Amino acid sequence: MQTDSSFTFVLFGGTGDLSMRKILPALFEAHRAGGMLADSGKIVAVARHAADRGEYLQWVNEHVKPYVSKNGVDETAWASFLERIEFVKIDLGNPEDFTLLRDAVKDLPGIRVFYLATGPSLFVPICRALASVGLNENARIVLEKPLGYDLKSSNAINDAVGEIFAEEQIYRIDHYLGKEPVQNLLALRFGNALFEPLWRREWVESIQITIAEELGVEARGDFYDNTGALRDMVQNHLLQLLSIVAMEPPHSMDSDSVRDEKLRVLRALKPIDPLDIGKVAVRGQYHSGGIRGSAVPAYATEPGVKPNSTTETFVALKVEIENWRWAGVPFFLRTGKRLADRVAEIVVNFRAVPHSALGVSALRAGANRLVIRLQPNETIRLYCLAKQPGEGMNLASVHLDLAFDQFFREGQMEAYQRLLLDVINGRLALFVRRDEQEAAWRWVEPILNEWKASNKPPKPYASGTWGPAAASAMLAQHGTCWLEEEN
């Protein structure tokens, strides 16, 4: 992925956690690879916690360098990367300070990319301040999640930003869409005749999508207690992954063709009846327990969390899609904090054979299964039954690996690196369009409202487990279980 596109990448929140752990390391990896970033491209960090460029570069050396290059830092590449970085000290609450930014970038080349690695409350003020100094022309704006608290607040942000930037200038980022296995899922489905005929209700028993974290809320207690797992993970990451899995073949891989098909999935989600929420939606909150032998506190005792908080740290949902391809196939979505392992995966369970002369094991649903692992390691595995060596026809589950590192010499690109290059090069396919976001909020909001109205506390679960027992019971009602429960 080489480019000659010159750019000026303006990073708001230049000393924030996201910039430190993800954005600047991703830009460095693109720089180190050679040819991915135009030599003339510049990075302009905006913050108020450094006095000048020298102090900011010192901060980058101390805080960003530990997150780059797992196999060590190429010092020559690192030194030349630092030469790309400029710094502007701005108080984001003072629109007059944006004249300093205008003056700093006016002679820098190429397309301007404004990355808002800030809280959502600053999105609109920053955009208005950029427009006030004429920086909204020949520009792209990147908005991090969460984009609003509900449909109304999301629309308010989108309306205000949309008055300043055209839709094709707005890049709403969801880093899960940039992960290599998600891209390979599209390649598997739409580049091969093998899978697509089976990718439908006649052959698929159920689909699971899990994003599990071992960590708790860490230092984000204030934010998380006003957000919860449904807003933080389901409305964006999980529903975006669901739409990728379930979408129809697009006309092409251009941005609107892909996003049109994702939108059709989101609009086809079966609305959840408030009377049925107790059957198809499980919310939980972690209590004290142990993670890999270390004791961890309960959510309610975390810093910044209200002692009697009813915010959920776990959600499991049964979702249905009302269209001809997927009618009757349950999609089980799950996310949570302080769970037994850090894993993100998509599990496609195919139906059992209709009749077997090889024994009952061949009649088990899920004997044929596709597992797309997004983290911690990125792999795709196809499970099937094979005969065990020896006497008799005894079957065992085996798997075929898509071992990317054995076929391709290039290392896998990190999600943020891919997406930042897409912004610089003007590729919108892996970013969320406004109507997608609205459709997701519209489906999620009745669940939020019902949970608030019922005032029922989340179900407790011990840290280091896989969440409340009710999540397993929900799948058991459909004759299935979560993947880890089979072992």
- Domain boundary assignment for the chain: 7-144, 177-413+445-486
Beta bridge partners of 298: none
Q: Return the closest-CA partner of residue 341 out of 302, 375, 301.
A: 375
What would the mean pLDDT of 8-36 be, rounded to a whole number?
94
State both tokens at 303: 């810093």
pLDDT above 70: residue 411: no
Residue 226 CA to residue 217 CA, distance in Å, equals 12
The answer to whether 399 is annotated as binding is: no
Dihedral of alpha carbons 236, 242, 245, 249, sign = negative
State both tokens at 200: 């439908």
The answer to whether 175 is annotated as binding is: yes
What would the mean pLDDT of 417-423 be, rounded to a whole number?
95
- Mention every residue, 6+ apart, whose C-beta is less than 8 A from residue 176: 182, 211, 237, 240, 241, 344, 374, 415
The answer to whether 387 is annotated as binding is: no
- Maximal C-alpha separation, the chain: 82
pLDDT above 90: residue 356: no
What would the mean pLDDT of 434-445 be, rounded to a whole number?
96
Residue 127 CA to residue 145 CA, distance in Å, equals 16
- For tokens 């449909």, the residue is 151
Domain 177-413+445-486 has CATH 3.30.360.10: yes
pLDDT confidence of residue 1 = 45
Sheet strands (E) in 77-203:
85-89, 111-116, 139-143, 170-172
pLDDT confidence of residue 288 = 87
State both tokens at 261: 């098909």
pLDDT confidence of residue 2 = 47
| CA distance between the termini of the chain | 41
Residue 452 CA to residue 137 CA, distance in Å, equals 42
For 86-112, how does the pLDDT look when each residue is reduced to its tens digit (9 = 90+)?
A: 999 999 989 999 999 999 999 998 999
Backbone phi, then psi, for 108, in 5-degree steps? -85, 145
pLDDT above 60: residue 201: yes
Answer whether 145's CB lies under 8 Å from 236's CB.
Answer: yes
Residue with the larger pLDDT of the pair 121 and 268: 268
Angle between helix axes 239-246 and 255-268 (nearest 10 degrees) is: 100
Backbone phi, then psi, for 333, in 5-degree steps? -110, 140
Residue with the larger pLDDT of the pair 391 and 417: 417
- Mention every residue, 6+ apart, whose C-beta is less than 8 A from residue 320: 269, 270, 326, 327, 328, 329, 330, 331
Answer whether 87's CB lies under 8 Å from 52's CB.
Answer: yes
> Given the DSSP bridges, would you call strands 7-12 and 379-387 parallel, antiparallel or unpaired?
unpaired
What would the mean pLDDT of 152-157 be, rounded to a whole number?
95
**Separation of CA 86 from chain center:** 29
What would the mean pLDDT of 144-160 be, rounded to a whole number?
92
State both tokens at 162: 């949309």
Beta bridge partners of 335: 211, 315
Return the SS3 of 153: helix
| Least reliable range by pLDDT among 177-191, 265-279, 328-342, 440-454 | 177-191
For 463-479, how does the pLDDT look when each residue is reduced to its tens digit (9 = 90+)?
A: 999 999 999 999 999 98
Residue with the larger pLDDT of the pair 445 and 352: 445
Look up the CATH number of domain 7-144: 3.40.50.720
pLDDT above 60: residue 484: yes
Answer whether 234's CB lies under 8 Å from 335's CB.
Answer: yes
pLDDT confidence of residue 73 = 86
Residue 233 CA to residue 239 CA, distance in Å, equals 9
Question: Would you name the residues annotated as active-site residues?
Answer: 237
Beta bridge partners of 116: 12, 143
pLDDT confidence of residue 379 = 84
* Percent over 70 (pLDDT), the chain: 95
Residue 197 CA to residue 195 CA, distance in Å, equals 6
pLDDT class of 4 with cuts at 50, 70, 90: low
pLDDT confidence of residue 371 = 93
Instruction: Write down the mean pLDDT value for the chain.
Output: 91
Helix (H) or strand (E) holding 398: strand 395-402
The answer to whether 4 is annotated as binding is: no
What would the mean pLDDT of 134-163 be, rounded to a whole number?
94
Dihedral angle over CA of 465, 447, 330, 284, nearest 10: 10
The answer to whether 179 is annotated as binding is: yes
The answer to whether 65 is annotated as binding is: no
The answer to whether 270 is annotated as binding is: no
Residue 368 CA to residue 117 CA, distance in Å, equals 42
* C-alpha distance from residue 161 to each of 19, 124, 142, 430, 434 (Å): 22, 6, 11, 20, 11
For 106-133, how does the pLDDT look when each residue is reduced to its tens digit (9 = 90+)?
A: 999 899 999 999 988 899 999 999 999 9
State both tokens at 401: 């690996």
What would the mean pLDDT of 344-373 be, rounded to a whole number?
81
Q: Return the closest-CA partner of residue 313 out of 212, 430, 409, 188.
A: 212
Backbone phi, then psi, for 78, in 5-degree steps? -65, -45
Answer whether 269's CB lies under 8 Å from 436's CB.
Answer: no
The sheet carrying 111-116 orders its strands as 85-89, 42-47, 7-12, 111-116, 139-143, 170-172
pLDDT above 60: residue 423: yes
